[in-house]
Amino acid sequence: MRPLYPKADFIVGVSQGVVDDLKKVLRFDSEKFRVIYNPIVDEALLKKAEEPLDHPWFQEGEPPVILAAGRLHIQKDFPTLLRAFALVGKKIPSRLVILGEGEKRKELENLAQELGIREYLDLPGFVENPYKYMKRATVFVLSSQWEGFGNVLVEAMACGCPVVATDCPSGPREILAGGEYGILVPPKDPEKLAQGILQVLENPDLQRELSERGKQRALDFTVEKAVEEYIRLVEECVA
């Protein structure tokens, strides 16, 4: 990377955090660096969000559902989410659904059993369409220890789901503009994560506000916007 990347006309990172990391790794600072966000939101995503969801926990009149999604891996730190959910359950009856598969499944199932929350946790594994879950969840939670960006946050926001995320390096703070579009909490802190989740669950006005703000913010991560940015970069390169 150090001998080759500096020879490029431009170096693109999917977030400012990624660009900052590249600068450290490559050991040079230059105007060659650019940030172009991932092309995440398109008509297909929004259409899939409207598909029916046949899951008993998402029916009208049921307790609120806290949703998370990602590989069951140490990076996503779902144990912290489970511990936070156990604290939330002491104040508000709720359900937790984690979409995704991975090597930590058994560990999470055992932890849920220890915490006494196994019957309130659903681990459906990989699902083809996570957006219909995001559309109907009360709050989406990202509990990661680190992220390159955090596409699922944008996807949830585009579906109108309020989000709570750990302020991990490097995507969530950037996506949520320091907390303007969602709630940021410290990583690996079940108590603070539970407080962030409860802040949303206990405040319907905040739910609506974050939902509307999130949908507006998601427009910064559309396919069209990314294409425009890349075309502008190519034109600058040619010029």
d(CA 87, CA 174): 28
Residue ranges per domain, the chain?
Answer: 5-39+222-238, 43-220
Q: What is the mean pLDDT of the chain?
A: 96
- The pLDDT of residue 196: 98
Tokens of residue 197, six digits: 């989740």
Kindly tell me if the per-residue pLDDT of 210 is higher than 90.
yes
Predicted local distance difference test score (pLDDT) of residue 235: 96
Distance CA 164, CA 176 (A): 10
Q: Does residue 164 sit in helix, strand or coil?
A: strand
pLDDT above 90 (res 170): no
Predicted TM-score (pTM) of this structure: 0.93
- Domain 43-220 part of CATH 3.20.20.80: no
Give the residue from 148, 189, 140, 184 showing the smallest Cα distance to 166: 184
CA dist 169 and 144 (Å) reads 9
Quick one: pLDDT band at residue 137, thresholds 50, 70, 90? very high
What span, in angstroms and rounded, lies between the C-alpha atoms of 98 and 215? 22
Count the neighbouring beta carbons within 10 Å of the beta carbon of residue 197. 28
| Residue 8: per-residue pLDDT | 95
**Residue range 177-202, pLDDT digits in tens:** 999 999 999 999 999 999 999 999 99
